[in-house]
């Protein structure tokens, strides 16, 4: 290939056809500058042969014949009597796998350790309880709190409700995955000791925010990597000292596709590569990412690919210009789906990356918080026509400036977390000018504690536009000020021409007073973000965002407001709360009746041309509801 590229690039570029089959990688395939196409009209096109399935796998295939009944007496004694005859054992060393990675004492997300897949479905590392959570009865010692600068790394001690831990072999290592302080931050920590007489569990390391009772709900956790708890089909355990794999099969072993992941690296990494396409390939069974694009690669397109059963991310793009991820299926990933970051924030130069027409589901499998289906950062990138669903926390995380988030459908996310949003953006008022428009948000969150929003601007964030969205059952205010659109401390947000349906509160905010605002502006974090990372007191910020003039010198007593303009609010208990000001020249309409939807009972929230809304809200624009979501 590089010999061809060193000569004359053929007209139309070069196609690299991969025939059907599984290409098992034991190391990352690196493509660099020399593997680039010449320009947008002369690309290198890596693609599957028509009609054939091509898998790029980071796993080791295990023959079903390698699994046998458990014969070791010590292992049998640790198994529940009900499964001793049905659990199967495989000798991983004999099959060529001897590197098992390490579980640190404390980690967040996914450790670099093998996983098991049966017929392309991720198996569950043996855990207790099998579903749901165990609860902390009482925190006896919270341990140290690294978030406050405490460096002692002292693990917490707490009283468990059940005495289940008495039967666990802690020598092998048992870890507890939990929400230890707040329901928006999860970590996994090894158990160092258990006192059966008092049901006291001691953790081997500190949780980042400590362990405590401050949250509204009880602290919760589950235990993992416990051979004694291998008791339902689909669970497995790896005995690292004996190099044995134990599995309670979820189905017929004969003919099953059984794979253990082993590649501790991205499957394909494009380093400075430009004008290259990867299409119609399946990336699976790796311990990190499917595809990376880094070091200013430009004009790279990931098209029609499947990213699945990866321990971290599907596609990670950082830097460069005009890179795209389109028509991809991304599911069952340990952390996130797609990351696109690019553009010059100091000069506000856009990268023009695109994530479009992707279906992203079951993300955040291992990291249950801040593991986005799509994470967008930098300047001037597009997230459009994607479908995101079935996730424990946020669907979209926004960082940076002048991005467009449009025509996406987001539903059934924030299912395990609290004080969160389906879209989250926060803690940096220099990051602004983002357009969040024509999206459909529905069935968001659960009534857990503080509250859940569809769109969450956190910790003083603002300066963005929420226009033409449809929200249906899209928030839980619970015990706080949450709405479908929620601002915590911020201002300068415009919510216009949106429809809110059957959502307890449409617009919510928690207002910061003058003292807190002044304290935050003068604090080290904002001083760095607003004056060093970028400088909001100088062009291009003061010219592109004129509202930033004087931002660093707030005047006490002057209200900090956001704008509520021409919004239709249907069957919502509360229209707004906090610092949302209705525009007197463009007031909305609050009603309990059907305003003229095409078919609300079946989820068609287009407005009929004769809808009363057009007289009730002069200037209200039809929302292109039928264009939202994946487009063929």
Q: Tell me the pLDDT tens digit for each residue of 236-260.
A: 999 999 999 999 999 999 999 999 9
CA dihedral (197, 129, 100, 249) positive or negative:
positive
Tell me the pLDDT tens digit for each residue of 490-502: 999 999 999 999 9
Burial (0-12, 13-18, 19+ Cβ within 10 Å), 522: exposed
Question: What local confidence, expressed as pLDDT, does residue 473 receive?
Answer: 98
Are 256 and 401 part of one and the same domain? no
* Distance separating alpha carbons of residues 590 and 567, to the nearest angstrom: 8
111 and 104 Cβ atoms separated by less than 8 Å:
yes
Cα distance between the two ends of the chain: 33
Are 560 and 461 part of one and the same domain? yes
Domain boundary among 208, 242, 260: 260
Are 178 and 252 part of one and the same domain? no
* Distance separating alpha carbons of residues 288 and 273, to the nearest angstrom: 20
* Distance separating alpha carbons of residues 361 and 630, to the nearest angstrom: 13
Are 416 and 517 part of one and the same domain? yes
Question: What local confidence, expressed as pLDDT, does residue 5 receive?
Answer: 58
**Structural tokens at position 400:** 């940076």
* Distance separating alpha carbons of residues 392 and 414, to the nearest angstrom: 5
Q: Which helix (H) or strand (E) holds 614?
A: helix 613-616
Are 91 and 195 part of one and the same domain? no
User: Is residue 597 one of the residues assigned to a domain?
Assistant: yes
- Give percent of the chain with pLDDT exceeding 90: 92
User: Is residue 67 one of the residues assigned to a domain?
Assistant: yes
Query: Residue 378 region, left (φ>0) first, then alpha (ψ -120 to 50), else beta?
Result: left
The more confidently predicted of residues 629 and 477 is 629
281 and 48 Cβ atoms separated by less than 8 Å:
yes
Q: What is the mean pLDDT of residues 428-453?
A: 96
Tell me the pLDDT tens digit for each residue of 341-363: 999 999 999 999 999 999 999 99
User: Is residue 45 one of the residues assigned to a domain?
Assistant: no
* Residue 1 scores a pLDDT above 90: no
Give the total number of structural domains in the chain: 3
Are 208 and 234 part of one and the same domain? no
**What average pLDDT does the structure give for the chain?**
96
In degrees and rounded to multiples of 5, residue 444 shows phi and psi of -105, 125
CB proximity list for 441: less than 8 A, separation 6 or greater: 410, 411, 422, 454, 455, 469, 470, 471, 472, 474, 484
Are 518 and 614 part of one and the same domain? yes
- Give percent of the chain with pLDDT exceeding 70: 98
Q: Residue 447 — very low, low, confident or very high, per pLDDT cuts 50/70/90?
A: confident
Cα angle 520, 525, 531 (rounded to 5 degrees) comes to 95
User: Is residue 56 one of the residues assigned to a domain?
Assistant: no
Are 77 and 138 part of one and the same domain? no
Question: What local confidence, expressed as pLDDT, does residue 218 receive?
Answer: 86
* Distance separating alpha carbons of residues 190 and 176, to the nearest angstrom: 6
Question: What local confidence, expressed as pLDDT, does residue 355 receive?
Answer: 99
What one-character DSSP code corresponds to residue 204? Answer: S
Lowest mean pLDDT among 381-385, 442-446, 447-451: 447-451
* Residue 165 scores a pLDDT above 90: yes
Tell me the pLDDT tens digit for each residue of 190-246: 999 999 999 999 999 999 999 987 666 789 999 999 999 999 999 999 999 999 999
Question: What local confidence, expressed as pLDDT, does residue 203 receive?
Answer: 99
Are 417 and 362 part of one and the same domain? yes
* Distance separating alpha carbons of residues 155 and 139, to the nearest angstrom: 11
3-state secondary structure 419-486: CEEEEEEECCCCCCCCEEECCEEECCCCCCCCCEEEEEEECCCCCCEEECCEEECCCECCCCCCCCEE
The number of angstroms, rounded, from the C-alpha of 402 to the middle of its chain's C-alpha atoms is 21
User: Is residue 245 one of the residues assigned to a domain?
Assistant: yes
Question: What local confidence, expressed as pLDDT, does residue 130 receive?
Answer: 98
Q: Residue 2 — very low, low, confident or very high, per pLDDT cuts 50/70/90?
A: low
CB proximity list for 208: less than 8 A, separation 6 or greater: 108, 145, 146, 147, 185, 187
What residues form DSSP beta bridges with 507? 485, 576
425-460 burial: b if 16+ Cβ within 10 Å, else e: bbbbbbbbbbbbbbbbbbbbbeebbbbbbbbbbbbb
**Structural tokens at position 388:** 């995101």
User: Is residue 489 one of the residues assigned to a domain?
Assistant: yes
Tell me the pLDDT tens digit for each residue of 535-566: 999 999 999 999 999 999 999 999 999 999 99
User: Is residue 31 one of the residues assigned to a domain?
Assistant: no
Are 89 and 218 part of one and the same domain? no
Domain that includes residue 179, residue range: 128-227
* Residue 3 scores a pLDDT above 80: no
Q: What is the mean pLDDT of residues 130-151?
A: 95
Are 238 and 212 part of one and the same domain? no
527 and 460 Cβ atoms separated by less than 8 Å:
no
Are 244 and 202 part of one and the same domain? no
Tell me the pLDDT tens digit for each residue of 398-439: 999 999 999 999 999 999 999 999 999 999 999 999 999 999
Question: What local confidence, expressed as pLDDT, does residue 478 receive?
Answer: 81
Domain boundary among 227, 246, 270: 227
Question: What local confidence, expressed as pLDDT, does residue 30 receive?
Answer: 98
User: Is residue 328 one of the residues assigned to a domain?
Assistant: no
């Amino acid at each position: 290939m590089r010999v061809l590229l060193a000569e004359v690039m053929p007209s139309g570029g070069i196609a690299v056809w991969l025939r059907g089959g599984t290409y098992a990688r034991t190391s990352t395939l690196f493509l660099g500058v020399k593997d680039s196409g010449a320009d947008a009209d002369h690309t290198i096109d890596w693609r599957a042969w028509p009609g054939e399935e091509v898998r790029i796998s980071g796993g080791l295939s295990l023959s079903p014949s390698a699994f046998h009944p458990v014969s070791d007496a010590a292992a049998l004694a640790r198994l529940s009597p009900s499964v001793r005859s049905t659990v199967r054992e495989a000798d991983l060393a004999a099959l060529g796998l001897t590197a098992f990675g390490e579980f640190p004492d404390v980690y967040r997300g996914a450790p670099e350790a093998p996983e098991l897949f049966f017929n392309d479905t991720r198996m569950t590392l043996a855990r207790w309880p099998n579903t749901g959570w165990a609860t902390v009865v009482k925190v006896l010692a919270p341990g140290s709190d690294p978030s406050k600068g405490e460096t002692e790394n002292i693990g917490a001690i707490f009283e468990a409700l059940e005495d289940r831990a008495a039967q666990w072999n802690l020598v092998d290592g048992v870890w507890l995955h939990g929400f230890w302080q707040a329901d928006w931050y999860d970590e996994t920590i090894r158990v160092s000791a258990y006192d059966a007489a008092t049901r006291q569990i001691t953790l081997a390391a500190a949780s980042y925010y400590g362990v405590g009772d401050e949250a509204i709900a009880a602290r919760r956790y589950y235990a993992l990597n416990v051979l004694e708890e291998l008791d339902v089909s689909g669970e497995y355990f790896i005995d690292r000292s004996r190099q044995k794999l134990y599995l309670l099969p979820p189905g017929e072993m004969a003919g099953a596709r059984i794979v253990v992941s082993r590649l501790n690296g991205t499957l394909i990494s494009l380093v400075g590569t430009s004008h290259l396409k990867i299409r119609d390939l399946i990336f699976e069974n790796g311990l990190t990412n499917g595809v990376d694009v880094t070091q200013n690669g430009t004009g790279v397109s990931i098209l029609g690919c499947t990213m699945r059963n990866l321990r971290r991310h599907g596609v990670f793009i950082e830097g460069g210009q005009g890179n795209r991820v389109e028509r991809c299926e991304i599911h069952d990933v340990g952390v996130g789906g797609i990351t696109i970051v690019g553009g010059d924030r100091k000069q506000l130069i856009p990268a023009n990356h695109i994530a479009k027409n992707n279906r992203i589901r079951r993300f955040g499998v291992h990291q249950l918080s801040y593991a986005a289906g799509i994470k967008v950062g930098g300047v001037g990138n597009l997230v459009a026509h994607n479908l995101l669903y079935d996730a424990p926390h946020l669907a979209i995380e926004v960082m940076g400036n002048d991005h467009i988030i449009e025509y996406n459908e987001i539903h059934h996310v924030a299912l395990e977390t609290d004080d969160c949003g389906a879209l989250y953006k926060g803690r940096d008022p220099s990051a602004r000018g983002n357009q969040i428009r024509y999206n459909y948000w529905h069935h968001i969150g659960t009534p857990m504690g503080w509250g859940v929003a569809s769109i969450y601007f956190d910790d003083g964030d603002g300066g963005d536009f929420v226009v033409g969205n449809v929200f249906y059952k899209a928030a839980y205010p619970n015990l706080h000020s949450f709405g479908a659109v929620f601002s915590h401390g911020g201002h300068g947000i415009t919510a216009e021409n949106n429809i809110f349906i059957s959502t307890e509160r449409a617009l919510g905010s928690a207002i910061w007073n003058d003292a807190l605002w002044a304290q935050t502006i003068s604090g080290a974090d904002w001083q760095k973000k607003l004056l060093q990372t970028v400088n909001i007191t100088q062009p291009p910020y003061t010219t592109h965002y004129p509202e930033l003039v004087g931002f660093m010198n707030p005047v006490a007593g002057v209200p900090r407001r956001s704008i509520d303009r021409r919004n239709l609010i249907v069957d919502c208990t509360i229209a707004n709360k906090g610092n949302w000001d209705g525009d007197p020249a463009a007031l909305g309409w609050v009603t309990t009746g059907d305003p003229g939807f095409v078919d609300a009972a079946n989820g068609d929230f287009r407005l009929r041309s004769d809808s009363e809304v057009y007289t009730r809200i002069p200037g209200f624009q039809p929302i292109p509801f039928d264009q939202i979501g994946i487009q063929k």
